[in-house]
Every structure is written in C-alpha cells, then in structure tokens.
Amino acid sequence: MHQPSCRSENALTRTPSRRRFLAAGAALAGAAAFAGAEPSETRPADTRPVEHDRRIRLGIVGCGGRGSWIAGLFSRHGGYEIHAVADYFQEVADACGDALGVSRNRRFCGLSGYRRVIDSGVEAVALETPPCFFPEHAAAAVQAGLHVYMAKPVAVDVPGALRILEVGRQAGRQKRCFFVDYQMPTDPLNIEVVRRLQAGAVGPLAHASSFGYATGFPDPPRTATIADRLRKLIWVNDVAIGGDYIVNFDIHAIDAALWAIGRMPTAATGRSRIVRADPHGDSRDVCQVLYEFEDGLVLSHHGQALPNSPDEGLGCKFYGQAGMAVINYWGKACVNGGSEPFAGGTVENLYQAGAERNIATFHRQIVQGCFENETLQRSVDGVLACILGREAAARGTRLTMKALLEENRRLEVDLSGLQA
C-alpha cells in the first residue's frame, strides 16, 4: 500500500550532518543539509481556492503587519478555519478579526492573550509576535497539545533557542507538528542549486559569502513602557525584543548558507556598529562577520539596515575549486562552471510563494500525521549561528560556539507597566 509522503511540498529531503555542542548539560545537534531534485524553473503560486476534506481550527497570535497578512494566506488556503486571534493591542486583534470573520468573543489582547487563544478550542497556532515571546508561547502551545507554526527567528538568545529545541522535540513525541517558516529553502531554483552544490558540482568549497541588506526600520523615542516598541516593527531595533538585525533579518541568508554548506560554524569574528540617525534602540545596523568552520572553510557575512539604497537583498555565494554557485531571496540562482552548470533564473515572489508553500506543507503534515518536524533543528542551528555572529561582532572579538553555549546568557525584556 502506498504511504503518503511526509516531505515538504517541494520534495525536499534532509540528510543530517550532526555536530555536537554542549551547554547547560544539553546537547545540540549540528546543522543538517537538505538535498532534493526539483524542477529547474519557477512557476507562479496557484492561488485558486482548493477544497479540503479537513479544516484545521487555527489561532493567530500576533496580528500586526506580517501576522495579519499571513493570517489571510492561511484563510485563503482553504484548509484552515481562523478560530481565534490575539495581539497585545485590542484594536489590532479586532482589525484582523474583522477581516477574517472571527467572532468578537475570540479576539484577545494583552500579554496573556496567547493563553486565551490556546484555551479557545484551537488545534494549532501560528505565532507571529516579536521573537522574544516565541519560547514561552511555543512551550505553552505544545504543553496544550497543539500543532505550532511560527515565524523566524525562533528566539533572541541561547536559552530561548535551547527551549525551542526542547519543546519542538516534545511536540514530535506527542505526534504534533512544529513548523518554522523559512522561504528560501522552498524555492525550486534554490533547491536545484543546493542539490548540485552538495553533489560537488563546483568542486570542494574554497570560501562562501552571504549578505543581508534592509532599508531600515522606524526607531522613535522610547516611552514610559515598551508598549510602543511592539508596534510596526519598531521592536526590530531592540536586541532583547527582536534579537538585532543580524538575528531578525540577515538570518534568512545565514540560514540558507548553512543549508547549503551542511554544517555549523565553530567560531566567528566580527565588528558591528549603530549608524542610523537618531537611534533609540540598541540593534546594530551595520555588521561584518567572518564565520569559521572546522575544516577551514570561511563564510563572510555582511549586513546593513540603512535607507541608503532602494533595494533590499538576501543571498549567498559559494566558491569552489572549479566553479561558483548563487542562491537568493530576490535575485539570480545559478551554478557557473564546474561539472554541472545550471543557468537557473530569477527567484521571484518568494516572500508570498514561500509562505504559501509552507502553509500548505503544515496542513498536509497535520492531516497525514507527519511529525518528523524537519524545520526544528535547522531553525535552532540558524538562530544560534546568528547569535554567535551578533555577539562576536558586538564584542569585536573571536568567539567560539562552544563558549557562546557555555555562557548561556539570557536577554531580559522589561515588561513593567504592560497590560497582562
């Protein structure tokens, strides 16, 4: 009898390459590589309504810009019933609830709104809050026996990342899905480039580079509480709330680089600074980080979040002995030279198309009972690598992954004066 596939919508497979790091008595498995064959051209996402035999009762926690947008994608998928919503601000929860037809008695606000969503009769939650809240929210959802879909980054510090790893594994043991929404690994062009790269198409890797360019985020003066920092991506400017720009934005590129390389860095060296005009948060908007790998490979990452260019960008380049490869969020993906060149093409509409693929995969995994939760380990590896880069660059020194994990430093968010 044919068994349904538990792989992602893109037939993505995962071949683990494990490396152990210890912190507070917990073992972390190293990054895992993906490999899989995909078509060599992109196709527009099919947005036609689809009839589903099973509709999943979903709660949305975090209804701001991306939260309300992704809630709309869940609704349009057709396999979900948006049952409850929560946001710190009641008016934001109401706007999302109005748009999606959620009953007024299932629209919650305040810091504890996520618990009321969990208790409202949902089967799954989508977490779209500032990432400092993810470990607590995910743990509560898993404890309640729910499936979890969450944005990146999964945490802002090492203790949070380790907690996500723990609760994600618990979800698997409970036969629940735990899915983290990264878009670059869903694109067919990127998948094909990585397949060829890992098959040795450019020869042994000599070095690699990645970049993350954003046009900046509003950073107004602080008020008596952090309530106003929780609006309109202002929280990205605060390290304890958003993790710093390298953790929140650049993570797309660094995660993709680790996907292609197939292992975790052992150390990082870097520099970072604040350059934006009139800053009020402590996130550093310029960084340069050099990641070291055990075999001598280096990954050079550079990032900025400044309004000095009309374009945003996230991408990676890999240079081998015989050729080079490129993967991207918005640009060209290809393999030049080597034993298996690939003309590739331009990655398009990935912000939406990647989320739609992931939403469809989450639904299918729940319905088919697929609980391998392949995005868990990778999401933890990626955020740990970004935290390593953040700390090395902020301190202006060389920092090993082992030392970072042994520090196990927690970032504290001041929640005083906020609505419970």
For residue range 268-305, list pLDDT tens digits in order: 999 999 999 999 999 999 999 999 999 999 999 999 99
pLDDT value for 53? 83
For residue range 175-232, list pLDDT tens digits in order: 999 999 999 999 999 999 999 999 999 999 999 999 999 998 999 999 999 999 999 9
Q: What would the DSSP string read from start to end of 89-115?
A: SHHHHHHHHHHHT--GGGEE-STTHHH
Q: Is 296 part of a structural domain of the chain?
A: yes
The tally of domains found in the chain comes to 1
CATH number, domain of 215, equals 3.30.360.10
Whether 26 has a pLDDT exceeding 90, the answer reads no
What is the C-alpha to C-alpha distance for residues 88 and 229, in angstroms, rounded to an integer? 11
Q: Is 270 part of a structural domain of the chain?
A: yes
When pLDDT is averaged across residues 136-141 and rounded to a whole number, the result is 98
Q: Is 71 part of a structural domain of the chain?
A: no
What is the C-alpha to C-alpha distance for residues 153 and 379, in angstroms, rounded to an integer? 7
Whether 340 has a pLDDT exceeding 90, the answer reads yes
Residue range(s) defining the domain that contains residue 330:
184-353+384-407
The burial class, CB within 10 Å (0-12 / 13-18 / 19+), for 44 is: exposed
Give the pair of three-digit tokens for residue 225: 């509480």
Phi first, then psi, for residue 234 (nearest 5°) are -60, -30
Q: Is 99 part of a structural domain of the chain?
A: no
Whether the bond into 218 is cis, omega within 30 of 0: no
pLDDT value for 7? 52
What is the C-alpha to C-alpha distance for residues 168 and 147, in angstroms, rounded to an integer? 10
For residue range 378-413, list pLDDT tens digits in order: 999 999 999 999 999 999 999 999 999 999 999 999
Q: Is 417 part of a structural domain of the chain?
A: no
CB atoms near residue 133 (< 10 Å): 22
pTM for this model (two decimals): 0.90
pLDDT value for 312? 82
Q: Is 395 part of a structural domain of the chain?
A: yes
Q: Is 349 part of a structural domain of the chain?
A: yes
